[in-house]
Structure 1
Amino acid sequence: MTIRYLLCIVITTVLFTQTAVASPELGLEQQRKLFIQAERLAYNPNNSAFKKLMEQLEGYPLKPYVELKTLSKFPFMANKKQIERFLAKYEFSPLDRPLRKKWLLYLDKQNQPELFSHFYRDMGNVTLNCSYADMLLQKDPSSAQAFELAKNLWVVGQSQPNDCDELFNKWQKAGKRSSDLVWKRMSLAADGGNQTLIPYLKTLMPQDQQYLGDLWLKVRRSPSQVSRLSNFLGKYPELETEILVYGLKRLISNNRDLALRSWEKLSSRFAFSLSQQKQISHRFAIFLALADHEQAEFWLEKATSFEPDAELLRWHLAHVLRQNNWQDALDVISLVPAESADNNMFEYWKAQAYEKVGAKELADVGLHKLAKQRHYYGFLASGKLSEMPSLNDNPLLIPKEIIDEVASLPAAQRAFEFRKLGRNLSARREWIFLQTQLTQKQKVTAAVLASQQGWHDQAILVFQFRLSG
């Protein structure tokens, strides 16, 4: 009997079958201590002390984490049934990912394409994703799904693992790597990615476009290069403008006047698309408003003329308030979408603006409406009206049996046990997973439960729900 087979037997008997000998019932405090001991011995499942500990941990919420450690240590074909059972039971939970990753890596090395495909999930692991796409091509050399996966894995701003080379070679030989995709990857590498990829990608471009790679590198290293028109030959203006937009958006943050002068020259020479004009206007408007620049108002108006969003409108409002332009403030606020998350802030300043332009009745209506609500601008409105602020205290009353029902869910029990052990990151992972399993009403109940347990930041969920309701 081989060592691996022995390990399989141990895992089967210790982790996944009920012990025939009933152990004395232990309290949670005792089981927490035993859990820590069992974790230390999880890599030695033949140990008699470990077997005893696993018996004593029966029913303890975190026992699956000990099982996870053991199975992750021995992800062998001999333990396939146990691994499959574990992954099925805890699918998508925080217990799933670590074991599934180890198991898939093992299956890949053992050249088990059928099993690999059966257990495969996209977990954001590039090596595993490349292996899966390659296995699809082994089944069908013209698989559209595999080629789409290969494209998505290749068109990124970073270098990919060598394990993906075989897949990328097949994808390239099938004629799927176009110049447009090379350009897209070069743009991603330049804009926030790994710029050292650019020289390599440049060699994949047509000969007459390779100067664009050098241009990307220049502007990435020094955005002020956009001010030198001689850099931009105009041979491929639709591609050069992408580099210019990137450079101008960076330049405005540290040399506003040079960025403005550069834009004045470039906008008369290049045909920027509406989308590009919108990007530049938005970026220029915010950075000029931040610096209280003399051209801030012009660019705020220009950016607003495209498609104003909440962030832009906040900056625009701040600018006109700084200038005491109260009528302009009303005009800006009129553009705010009704569903804006900052609606209370805009409503407060609308009331203030009404008062300043002499519309006191409208100002009072707005302030009284705000003063009835429990939030920061409600308190400000109360102070403006010399009224006591409304605390608007309307506590949630949830029956104990409903709270107990959520508290009994395995993920909730695991989250609270991790908190008792001071493992807050693990607790939060379980809590986030729990939210995916709950209805909207149950989420509110879970937040109340968390508050009762001293996990007070989760009570914010209740507050947000009540505001939206």
Structure 2
Amino acid sequence: MRYKWLNYLSRHNHQKTFLTDYRDGMGAKLTCTALNYRLKQGEQANIVLKEVDALWLHGQSQPDECDPLFAKWKKAGMMTSERVIQRIEIAAKEGNRSIIHYLKRQLPADKQYIADAWLAVTRDSSRVSRQNLFPFENQSHESEVIVWALEKLAWKKPELASGVYTQYQDKGLFSNAQQHIIKRAIALSFTLDRLPQASQWLEKADIDGASDDIKLWHVSHLLRTRNWQGVVDVIDNAPLHIQQEENYRYWKARALEMLGQSMQATVIYQELAEERHYYGFMASAHIGEIPSLSHSPAPKDAEAMAIVARTPATLRAIEFFRLDRNTSARREWYYLLSHIPESRVTDAGILAYEWGLYDQAINSFAQSGYWDDVERRFPLAFDDVFSQKAQTHNISKSLAMAIARRESSFRTDAISSVGATGLMQLMPGTARYVAQEKVTRNALFNANDNIEYGMQYLRYLMDKLNNNPVLVSASYNAGWRKVLEWLPADEALPVDIWIENIPYKETRAYVKAVMAYQHIYDMQLGSNENIFPQLTRDMIPSAEAVSTHPVTGTLQLAPK
């Protein structure tokens, strides 16, 4: 409403009212109009024009309303070569080549080559190898071009990028931060492509100041190549706070175990086994213990819950839920959580759980930080439906519930950014494919139907992937074709090492979470099942050892 009102005022040149009603953050068009009006109203130009910098440093063309403002800014001597080059860099990184041609003309002749260099490398990053583009007369700006291009080139052609980096390295162009950017891209590209240069470049990249994912991939690469002593050395040389992270503690124990130092490994495993997460559950399996859930229910304060239940936001939320206006209901619940004392957020979580608002209960407990109420954080939502569908399709109920918990926190109306819908976050096309019938998006908002199609999809993946729950959960997140590409090339890998080497960060985290959630649901359901001993024994077969049916793509063990 304000945006429309301000546009009306600007069309009719109501300057004073416009300035009274204008607020920051209304977009470039209205911001430029406001600054122009302030100048016309007599405000000091040196104060107003300082605010033009933020409008100028933008990778896209700005609205026509900004042109008079930029002209005054330029006339005041504020359009310096430095600011023009900054905008060229922003535009280049955003892929807006057209504006670079215009900006080039705003530079003095002796600096226009910087724009030409950006135009060259944004057209083809391999052109960074052409040293004639870089006379090294403005090294700080030239290094920006080179670093950006090398990072892009590294992901496509790491061998070429490493050679070009060596070519420029001795010229003293790069800051420490820029060195980290280049080395990270080259090292990870070699690693993800499983090329022999990975070891050398990971060692170059894994130094003080490197990003956290370099350490993760350094360890993952050493695991894949079974360099157990290398794993211990890399972890021992890491900063203490990194050594204390659960993944590094687990992998150090795992490496020590493989090196024959079982006593030291067992001490670490025992400590980890007290913790409720994927690595703690894996550690438990290695020492033959049942993973600990450390369940401690949040104390129920009936009086406090009654106070929360009577707040206007809670009353509005529950009425919206009853009317199936779930988006409005959640907005009210978010408002509630942000306007009650922190000490009452857990009470709100218990209330939501008892009302069957499971996703709000999960969110409330996450916000309050009360992690030990396992039963309420992992509710047996739609229990009867999951039981019946799991039995019909011969699917582990705990696995299906773990996936629904991870995918949507049991939100029946959840929609992802790519269109995955409902409890089990199914794409309508996927549901239609597995059901072999027309499936509407509205049907996917129905819990019963969504779970049915989700179970059919899990059965489809189980049949395709030899009933391997790790490969199935990875496929549920990333797609089975991609997972087949991730099979080890020439020898089977232990499950935990394969998971650690999944190229997609999201899928790595997803698989670990689903495996942990599956165990939690097994415990919640009173089952004696425990998937983690199986995970410590199983191997992920190599691409050499399996074949896929030429029509169905079904994974099969290749004949010996």
Q: TM-score, normalised by structure 1?
A: 0.70
Whole-Å separation in 2 of the counterparts to 1:175 and 1:453: 64
Q: Which amino acid aligns with 1:187?
A: E
Per-residue CA distance 1:377-396 (angstroms, 9 max, x = gap): 12111111111111211122
Q: Which amino acid aligns with 1:466?
A: Y
Contact 1:237/1:270 (8 A) holds in 2: no
Partner of 2:365: 462
Whole-Å separation in 2 of the counterparts to 1:403 and 1:378: 34
3-state DSSP of counterpart to 1:353:
helix
**Are 1:379 and 2:281 matched, yes or no?**
yes
Whole-Å separation in 1 of the counterparts to 2:112 and 2:209: 35
Q: Report the Cα offset of residue 440 of structure 1.
A: 3.4
Contact 1:241/1:270 (8 A) holds in 2: no
**Are 1:132 and 2:132 matched, yes or no?**
no
Q: Which amino acid aligns with 1:368?
A: Q
Q: Report the Cα offset of residue 118 of structure 1.
A: 4.3
**Are 1:248 and 2:248 matched, yes or no?**
no
3-state DSSP of counterpart to 1:307:
coil
**Are 1:393 and 2:326 matched, yes or no?**
no
**Are 1:235 and 2:105 matched, yes or no?**
no
**Are 1:361 and 2:278 matched, yes or no?**
no
Whole-Å separation in 2 of the counterparts to 1:412 and 1:166: 51
Structure 1, unaligned runs of 5 or more = 1-98
Greater mean alpha carbon deviation, residues 100-109 or residues 184-193 = 100-109
Structure 2, unaligned runs of 5 or more = 374-560
- Any residues of structure 2 matched to 1:401-420 within 5 Å, and which? 401-412=303-314, 419-420=321-322
Whole-Å separation in 2 of the counterparts to 1:256 and 1:453: 55
Q: Residues 112, 450 of structure 1: CA spacing in aligned structure 2 closer, same or farther, 3 A cutoff?
A: farther
**Are 1:177 and 2:75 matched, yes or no?**
no
Whole-Å separation in 1 of the counterparts to 2:49 and 2:40: 12
Whole-Å separation in 2 of the counterparts to 1:429 and 1:348: 40
- Any residues of structure 2 matched to 1:22-421 within 5 Å, and which? 99-123=1-25, 125-142=27-44, 146-269=48-171, 271-334=173-236, 343-412=245-314, 419-420=321-322
Whole-Å separation in 1 of the counterparts to 2:243 and 2:351: 27
Q: Report the Cα offset of residue 451 of structure 1.
A: 4.0
Whole-Å separation in 2 of the counterparts to 1:414 and 1:168: 49
Contact 1:220/1:247 (8 A) holds in 2: yes
3-state DSSP of counterpart to 2:164:
helix
Contact 1:310/1:336 (8 A) holds in 2: no
Structure 1 stretches of 4+ with a deviation exceeding 6 A read none
Partner of 1:43: none
Whole-Å separation in 1 of the counterparts to 2:308 and 2:36: 43
Q: Report the Cα offset of residue 315 of structure 1.
A: 0.8
Q: Report the Cα offset of residue 425 of structure 1.
A: 5.1
3-state DSSP of counterpart to 1:180:
helix
Q: Report the Cα offset of residue 439 of structure 1.
A: 4.2
Pick the structure with greater CA Rg: 1
Q: Which amino acid aligns with 1:271?
A: L
Whole-Å separation in 1 of the counterparts to 2:314 and 2:65: 39
Per-residue CA distance 1:383-428 (angstroms, 9 max, x = gap): 1111111121112234244344445555555555555555555555
Tell me the C-alpha RMSD between the 2 structures: 3.1
Whole-Å separation in 2 of the counterparts to 1:365 and 1:355: 11
Whole-Å separation in 1 of the counterparts to 2:328 and 2:178: 43
Q: Report the Cα offset of residue 248 of structure 1.
A: 0.5
3-state DSSP of counterpart to 1:294:
coil
Contact 1:159/1:194 (8 A) holds in 2: no
Q: Residues 154, 371 of structure 1: CA spacing in aligned structure 2 closer, same or farther, 3 A cutoff?
A: same
Contact 1:203/1:210 (8 A) holds in 2: yes
Report the count of equivalent residues. 371
Q: Report the Cα offset of residue 320 of structure 1.
A: 1.3
Whole-Å separation in 1 of the counterparts to 2:222 and 2:303: 54
Q: Residues 295, 455 of structure 1: CA spacing in aligned structure 2 closer, same or farther, 3 A cutoff?
A: farther
Partner of 2:473: none
